[in-house]
Amino acid sequence: MLARLVFTLLCVLVCILFYVIGFWRKKAGDAAFAAARTAIDEKERDQYCRLSVLAGNRNACRMFFFSHTDIYENHQPLKPYSFRGMKVTFYGYYYPARHEKLLSNRQRMFCHALFRFKDGEIHGVRFFKSCMEAQHLEEENLHVMFMPCSSREKYIRRFRRLDEYISTHCPQMTSGLNDVVITGTRESLHKMKGGKKRILKRNYSITGDVEGKNIVIVDDVMTTGQSVSEYKKEIERHGGRVTAAIFYGKTVEVPPLFLLRMHVLYIQVKCLLKTRKR
């Protein structure tokens, strides 16, 4: 009887202990995360962020990933790579708006610039030139085609300034802004369900003469790459040859949080061993 009572008491004590540890671990994680968000420089931000990850804070895991995107992503900005028969380059990483609070000032500014490009508020010439230079395409005879958007207004607003730039500053290139007619409106692609398996509703037709032309596609964001590859197929059905594609941003994909935690643990242990050796 007494043994059973002692056992029950011990179990209750252990539960209380776990609860208290969990409670303070969460508090410590939240505090470190708050410190990371208000840190004055990247180094301090990273240190607090790692502590918060170790204390189990999920947002800190995402923040850690965003600060080290280049380690996890297969492709780097302005480094061309092959994708479904095209050379692809992007200008920078795009972090979806829901993660805005976890970004550094530099990343936030980049995403704001991307949104302004999407809305036609900035011309995107620097992005265009940088990506074309990265692929050594500045001097090539190319026909530039723009990715059709959800409506005609958006399409013209977004790309008209690049169209002007190409017509006035790039004598060796031609702009295909008017090769496409947007026939109706469709939902924004990122709102469609189904990820890579979603069925894209085509709301445009190619009316310009693209036959035999060497084509580069320009778009704002690449996420799964499905829309650019469908557009490429459609252009090729009309006789064009799509050799390259450039994007203002490439959407990052957050890896499983568990992997991020393991990575942070590994880094912390390595740091600890290093300081003990000294």
- Among 101, 190, 201, 233, the residue binding ligand OMP under the rule CB under 6 A is 190
Q: Write the interaction track for ligand OMP spanning residues 2-41; mark x where CB under 6 A is met and - where it is not.
A: ----------------------------------------
Is 188 a binding residue for ligand OMP by CB under 6 A? The answer is yes
Q: Give the bridge partners for 205, in sequence order.
A: 181
We find the least distance from the C-beta atom of residue 232 to ligand OMP, in angstroms, to be 12
- Of residues 93 through 152, those in contact with ligand OMP by CB under 6 A are 96, 147
Site for ligand OMP in 202-221 (CB under 6 A): 219-221
Count residues near ligand OMP (CB under 6 A). Answer: 15
- Touching ligand OMP, residues 147-186 (CB under 6 A): 147
Residue 243 in contact with ligand OMP, rule: CB under 6 A: no
Torsion angle of the four alpha carbons 218, 221, 223, 225, in this order, in degrees rounded to the nearest 10: -10
**Percent helix, strand and coil across the chain, each to the nearest 5:** 55, 15, 30
Return the beta strands (E) in 150-273 as ranges: 173-175, 180-182, 204-206, 214-222, 241-251
Among 131, 174, 223, 260, binds ligand OMP (CB under 6 A): 223
Q: How far apart are CA 143 and CA 128, in angstroms?
A: 14
Among 39, 54, 156, 189, binds ligand OMP (CB under 6 A): 189
DSSP class of residue 250? E
Q: Scanning the structure block, which residue is given the tokens 């957050």?
A: 254
- Beta pairing, strands 86-94 & 142-146: unpaired
Q: Which residues bind ligand OMP (CB under 6 A)?
A: 96, 147, 188-190, 219-227, 251
